[in-house]
Structure 1
Amino acid sequence: MRKYFFSVLFGVLFSVPAFGCLNGETLHLEDGTILYEDYEGYVPYGHSFTNTEELNKILLSLEKGYRETGKLNYLSDKGLILIIQGKYKEAIELYKKIEKAEPNRYSTASNIGTAYELIGNNAEALRWIEKAVKINPNSHYGSEWIHINILKAKMKGGKLINSRFLIGMDFGNEKFPESERDDEKLFVLRKQLYYQLNERVSFVKPEDKIVAQLLFDLGNISYLMREKEEATETYKMAKEYGFNKPVLEERLALYTPPVIDHVQKKAIKEIKFQTKAIRRTELISFCIAIAYLLFSGVIVFVFRKKIF
Structure 2
Amino acid sequence: MFAFEFSMKKSILTLIFCFLFSVPVFACLNGDTRLLTNGERLFEDFDSYVSYGHNFGGDERLKALMKSLEKGYNETKNIDYLSDQGYILIVQGKYQEAVDLYKRIESIAPGRYSTASNMGTAYELLGNNKEALFWIKKSVEISSKSHFYSEWIHINILKAKIKGEKYFTSQHLIQTDFGNDDLPKSILKTGDLERLRQQLYYQLNERVSFVMPEDKVVAQLLFDLGNICYLLGDKDDALENFEKAKEYGFDDPIVKKRMKLYSPPILDRTEKKVIKELKVQTKSVMRSELIKLIVSVLAFVFSGVLIYSFRKNIFPNFK
Report TM bin, short chain. 0.7 to 0.9
Give, as a single letter, the amino acid of the residue that structure 2 aligns with 1:60. Answer: K
What residue is the counterpart of 2:206 in the other structure? 199
Within the candidate set 142, 146, 163, 1:156 is matched to 163
CA shift, 1:249, in A, is 1.2
What residue is the counterpart of 1:294 in the other structure? none
| Structure 2 Cα separation of the partners of residues 112 and 131 of structure 1 | 10
What residue is the counterpart of 1:293 in the other structure? none
CA shift, 1:270, in A, is 6.1
CA shift, 1:268, in A, is 3.1
Residue 97, structure 1, aligned to residue 107, structure 2: no
Q: Secondary structure at the residue paired with 1:38?
A: strand
Give, as a single letter, the amino acid of the residue that structure 2 aligns with 1:193. Answer: L
Task: Note closer, same or farther for the CA distance 1:220–1:118 as it changes in structure 2 (3 Å cut).
Answer: same
Within the candidate set 237, 255, 267, 1:260 is matched to 267
Deviations along 1:184-218, one digit per CA (max 9) or x if unpaired, are 11000000000000010111111111111111110
Give, as a single letter, the amino acid of the residue that structure 2 aligns with 1:186. Answer: L
Question: Would you say the 8 A contact 2:28–2:288 is kept in 1?
Answer: no
Q: Secondary structure at the residue paired with 2:57?
A: coil
Within the candidate set 243, 253, 256, 2:250 is matched to 243
What residue is the counterpart of 1:188 in the other structure? 195
Within the candidate set 131, 134, 143, 2:141 is matched to 134
Give, as a single letter, the amino acid of the residue that structure 1 aligns with 2:28. Answer: C
Where do 5+ consecutive residues of structure 2 fail to align? 1-5, 294-319
CA shift, 1:136, in A, is 0.4
Residue 171, structure 1, aligned to residue 178, structure 2: yes
Q: Secondary structure at the residue paired with 2:43?
A: strand
Task: Note closer, same or farther for the CA distance 1:237–1:281 as it changes in structure 2 (3 Å cut).
Answer: closer
Identity of aligned residues (%): 55
Question: Would you say the 8 A contact 2:44–2:286 is kept in 1?
Answer: no
| Structure 1 Cα separation of the partners of residues 18 and 242 of structure 2 | 43
Task: Note closer, same or farther for the CA distance 1:266–1:214 as it changes in structure 2 (3 Å cut).
Answer: closer
Give, as a single letter, the amino acid of the residue that structure 1 aligns with 2:288. Answer: R
Within the candidate set 101, 109, 117, 2:116 is matched to 109
Deviations along 1:211-257, one digit per CA (max 9) or x if unpaired, are 11111110100010011111111011111111111211110111112
| Structure 2 Cα separation of the partners of residues 34 and 228 of structure 1 | 31
CA shift, 1:14, in A, is 5.2
Give, as a single letter, the amino acid of the residue that structure 2 aligns with 1:169. Answer: T
| Structure 1 Cα separation of the partners of residues 193 and 290 of structure 2 | 35
Residue 60, structure 1, aligned to residue 67, structure 2: yes
Deviations along 1:14-48, one digit per CA (max 9) or x if unpaired, are 54142333011000000111111000110001111
Residue 16, structure 1, aligned to residue 21, structure 2: yes
Deviations along 1:93-125, one digit per CA (max 9) or x if unpaired, are 100111111110000000011000000000000
- Count of equivalent residues: 284
What residue is the counterpart of 1:279 in the other structure? 288
TM-score normalised by L of structure 2 = 0.82
